[in-house]
Amino acid sequence: MNRTRIALALVVALASLVAIPAIARAAEYHHVHITASSPSEGVRWYNRHLDCEPVADRPDAADCGGVELIFVVQPTMGSTQGTGVNHIGFSYPDLAAKMAELESVGVRGSGVRLQRFPDGATLRDVPGLFKLGFIFDPWGTRIEMVEDPDTLGFHHIHLSAADPAATLAWYQDVFGGESASLKGQLDGLLFDDVWLLVSEHGEGTPATTQGRAIDHIGFEVADLDAAAPEMRGNGVLFQQEPATPENGRTSAKRAFLVGPDNVRLAVVETGWAGVAVERVAETVTTDAGPYPVPQTPWGEPDMQGVWTGNSAHSIPLERPLDADDVDALTPEEAEARRERGTLGSIWGYEREWRDTTLGYVKTAPSTQVAMVIDPPDGRIPPLTAEAQARADAARGRFGGGRRLAEGPEDLGLFVRCITRGVPGLMMPSIYNNGLQIVQGPGFVAIQKEMIHETRVIPTEPRPALGSNLQSWLGDAHGRWEGDTLVVETTKFNGRAPYRGAGENLTLVERYTRLGPTTLEYQFTMNDPTVWTRPWTGMFRFDKDDEQYELVEYACHEGNYGMTNILSGARSVERAQAEGR
């Protein structure tokens, strides 16, 4: 068989692995279907880390040396482990160097996770076989990395089976393949130079692959209508009959069946190029004209409820330099941007812990290009000469590096769980983006989930704080301008500055309901000791009373982390004093 015809389709959602039928044992291995949150980011990840190449005119597919990975967006129920497809494998000529490269990348910024052996090593040398190690892609696909000079690049698909011998026999009867033994140690089938290997599951029947990281694997035949009767004669039951799927990129047909050990398989015709999927953009219900904002019993606009900033996560504060002429992102671009934000922050918590993870959150990612809406160029105005001098002096003192903390006061306010300041506490982050608004006559209470801060803002005139009184969140005064709540805050103590603006800052916030489930938030920063002119940012919150609940932000990590950070700093000082 020609290796260039073997396609492994890993879909960003690991949504469908296609299997090839066995007409006269003429089927060829075609693809692996991977479930991913953003197909383009799946292609990008495998291109960056495993040397796969994007497929032309296919934003959801990567070619890994002749094996096609197809990435599909769909809900996922977990990794490949425990299913009938335990992992896929890639081979490199110098595995130690490759694993060191991946370890240096780490989980932050890319989502590369290494599986360590009990002794802490990432590599194991199996006598008579090869060196091997395991990594996971960000969507739960387990990947075995091997050093097999005889077959470089995409190397194998490794199944889990209750009866390995019977499973191999089934695949050979249905799809063909050459019976062979890898290095004389592992029995399998060869499709050209791609191995199909099987190990005993050990815990009964494996779980289904459908809906997991690898949804299915696929095989190819020249004519599916001609192959189907022969497959039925061999006892194959189709889960989905042969047909050209809706939005298929070509007229090639596809069918699904379930193989041994709950492995979902796809059979496709020659010319198969996947299915085009249109993403849905965010919507704001303003087409019917101005929204009639509901009123409280005492006659004020009603903004009460639980809102989330999840859809705004990953919007950059400033307009990127390469987006000067972009009015809005496409839904696919917004998904990819959100996914990059998730991959860039996996360091502390896996995807399952993230409120903003694609596929978990109900709202679509915002297509907004940047938060700054004034100045019109979408960028924060220049610093004043004095502010620039202060910034330069600060960089000079610290030299761009970190100094050891002498006490708790040297650690950040976030680490110490004191405050994020304003408008920082309003900004969407990787998780805990809940916002709850409660109103009473003359007051609005705004509680943010992260660090669990509550601002109680009067909406009727009241005396200002004395000239010597300042606070972390300043002195806030609210008023109603039509249906918009306007909050002006001054008298900050300067200990929780936002981008350098502190005690001289005047912050003006505007809360406006645009529809039943949409709250627009604008904030204007005016500090003449920092910027040459005021500037304004904007993003939106979505109402989610039915599902979302603000949970206590107890900050136990900070409580324990404080001890560890300070004791670690003292240990470093002792080592430095001893010349170690």
pLDDT in tens, 302-355: 999 999 999 999 999 999 998 989 999 999 999 999 888 887 766 555 666 677
Please name the residues in contact with 121: beta carbons below 8 A apart, sequence gap of 6 or more.
none
Secondary-structure percent of the chain, ordered helix, strand, coil, rounded to 5: 20, 30, 50
Please check the confidence at residue 252 and state whether its pLDDT lies above 60: yes
> Which of residues 451 and 398 earns the better pLDDT score?
451
Q: What is the 3-state secondary structure (H, E, C) of 473-542?
A: CCEEEEEEECCEEEEEEECECCCCCECCECCCCEEEEEEEEEECCEEEEEEEEECCCCECCCEEEEEEEE
Torsion sign, CA atoms 452, 453, 457, 462: positive
- 546 and 525 Cβ atoms separated by less than 8 Å: no
Task: For domain 376-543, give the CATH number.
Answer: 2.40.128
Q: What is the 3-state secondary structure (H, E, C) of 129-177?
A: CCEEEEEECCCCCEEEEECCCCCCEEEEEEEEECCHHHHHHHHHHHHCC
Q: Give me the pLDDT at residue 2, please.
A: 41
Fold that domain 3-104+150-269 belongs to in CATH: 2,3-Dihydroxybiphenyl 1,2-Dioxygenase; domain 1 (3.10.180)
Cβ atoms within 10 Å, residue 105 = 14
Longest dimension (CA), the chain: 90
Cβ atoms within 10 Å, residue 122 = 18
State how far the Cα of 25 lies from the Cα of 22, in Å rounded to an integer: 5
Please name the residues in contact with 298: beta carbons below 8 A apart, sequence gap of 6 or more.
441
Q: What is the 3-state secondary structure (H, E, C) of 333-380?
A: HHHHHHHHHHHCCCCCCCHHHCCCCCCCCCCCCCCCCCCEEECCCCCC
Please name the residues in contact with 570: beta carbons below 8 A apart, sequence gap of 6 or more.
none
Coil, strand or helix: which one is 425?
helix
Nearest-CA neighbor of 222 among 20, 17, 70? 20
State how far the Cα of 547 lies from the Cα of 470, in Å rounded to an integer: 37
Tokens of 470: 């300042």
Mean of the pLDDT values across residues 161-187? 92
State how far the Cα of 421 lies from the Cα of 556, in Å rounded to an integer: 20
Q: Are 3-104+150-269 and 376-543 equal in CATH topology?
A: no
Please check the confidence at residue 6 and state whether its pLDDT lies above 80: no
Radius of gyration, CA atoms only, the chain: 28
Mean of the pLDDT values across residues 523-549? 95
pLDDT band at 282 (very low <50, low <70, confident <90, very high): low
Per-residue pLDDT reduced to its tens digit, 60-105: 999 998 889 999 887 777 889 999 999 999 999 999 999 999 988 8
Instruction: Give CA 389 to chain center in angstroms.
Output: 38
pLDDT band at 397 (very low <50, low <70, confident <90, very high): low
pLDDT band at 108 (very low <50, low <70, confident <90, very high): low
Instruction: Give CA 71 to chain center in angstroms.
Output: 14
Q: Is the peptide bond before 294 cis (omega within 30 degrees of 0)?
A: no
The phi, psi pair for 228, rounded to 5°, reads -60, -45
Tokens of 245: 């799927």
- 122 and 116 Cβ atoms separated by less than 8 Å: yes
The phi, psi pair for 303, rounded to 5°, reads -115, 15
Domain map (residue ranges) of the chain: 3-104+150-269, 376-543
Per-residue pLDDT reduced to its tens digit, 399-417: 555 678 898 888 888 888 8
Tokens of 51: 């040397």
State how far the Cα of 476 lies from the Cα of 4, in Å rounded to an integer: 66
